[in-house]
Amino acid sequence: MHSRNEQRPVIVIGGGGHAKVLVSTLRAMGRTVIAAFDDDPSRHGNELLGVEIVGSISEAELRYPGIDAVIGIGAPHVRRMLAERLPFNWITVVHPHAYVDPTVVLHDGVVVMAGAVVQPETVLGQHCIINTSASVDHDGHIGEYVNISPGVHLSGNVTVGDAATIGIGASVLQGITIGANTVVGGGAAVIRDLPSDVVAVGCPAKVIRTIEARAA
């Protein structure tokens, strides 16, 4: 039996690969995805696992204000811009084959994909992504719009600042803090704190450049 909420239709914002995995995840949760929307006109009319990419995001605003919705776009700054602007009910998505400890705090719009593990007393900020087979160990603090890529492992007590991206397969030692907007490269091993607004790669992870602040 699904609760009343689970019977409400859902739309997905975005029409790429991440959106496709979201459609699959929502179905695994028993949700019905009725449409996807993307601002790339070349995607209109295409399907994500049988769900049509109907039109632009502004069309979704007109057709479905207040509907249950999920952002299916990975880039943190795009997620932030859409979440703040669009008039939808942002739902929390957790694949039934993820493990999320009951003490974890999940804010609106969080997405946890299949195979992910989130351990006790972690906080997942709004619209963050814990992607396929990633793990966040105990007492993690994951900021808003953070993108934790597939196969990332965060040890206990790791803090990831708002809108940071941790690249595929990276590992982060216990107690580390990674600053806001920072990008950690795929396969990196983070053994020391990283500041905000940098790109860091390698084992051990080293800063290779800074990121220009984005206009609000």
77 is catalytic: no
Residue 14 found at the interface with ligand COA (CB under 6 A)? no
Q: Which stretch binds ligand COA (CB under 6 A): 53-61, 110-118, 136-144, 185-193?
A: 185-193
User: Among 119, 149, 155, 182, which residue interacts with ligand COA (rule: CB under 6 A)?
Assistant: 149
Q: Which residue lies nearer to ligand COA by CB, 118 or 199?
A: 199
Q: How far, rounded to the nearest angstrom, does the alpha carbon of residue 162 sit from its chain's CA centroid?
A: 12
Q: How far apart are CA 158 and CA 122, in angstroms?
A: 9
Q: C-beta of 147: minimal distance to ligand COA in Å?
A: 8
Residues in 104-133 at the binding interface with ligand COA, rule: CB under 6 A: 131
3-class state of residue 99 by DSSP? strand
Q: Which residue lies nearer to ligand COA by CB, 18 or 88?
A: 18
User: Among 28, 52, 202, 206, which residue interacts with ligand COA (rule: CB under 6 A)?
Assistant: 202
Q: Which residue lies nearer to ligand COA by CB, 60 or 71?
A: 71
Residue 208 found at the interface with ligand COA (CB under 6 A)? yes
The DSSP bridge pattern shows strands 47-48 and 51-55 to be antiparallel
User: Among 115, 120, 186, 195, which residue interacts with ligand COA (rule: CB under 6 A)?
Assistant: 186
* DSSP per-residue string spanning the chain: ---TGGGS-EEEE--SHHHHHHHHHHHHTT--EEEEE-S-GGGTT-EETTEEEEE-HHHHHHH-TT-EEEE----HHHHHHHHHH--SEE--EE-TTSEE-TT-EE-TT-EE-TT-EE-TT-EE-TT-EE-TT-EE-TT-EE-TT-EE-TT-EE-TT-EE-TT-EE-TT-EE-TT-EE-TT-EEPTT-EE-S-B-SSEEEETTTTEEEEE-PPPP-
Q: Which stretch binds ligand COA (CB under 6 A): 7-15, 55-63, 64-72, 180-188?
A: 180-188
Selecting among 77, 95, 138, 153, the annotated active-site residue is: 138
Q: Which stretch binds ligand COA (CB under 6 A): 36-44, 104-112, 117-125, 200-208?
A: 200-208
Residue 201 found at the interface with ligand COA (CB under 6 A)? yes
Q: Which stretch binds ligand COA (CB under 6 A): 55-63, 76-84, 107-115, 195-203?
A: 195-203
The DSSP bridge pattern shows strands 206-210 and 198-201 to be antiparallel
User: Among 115, 120, 156, 187, which residue interacts with ligand COA (rule: CB under 6 A)?
Assistant: 187
| Residues annotated catalytic, as ranges | 138
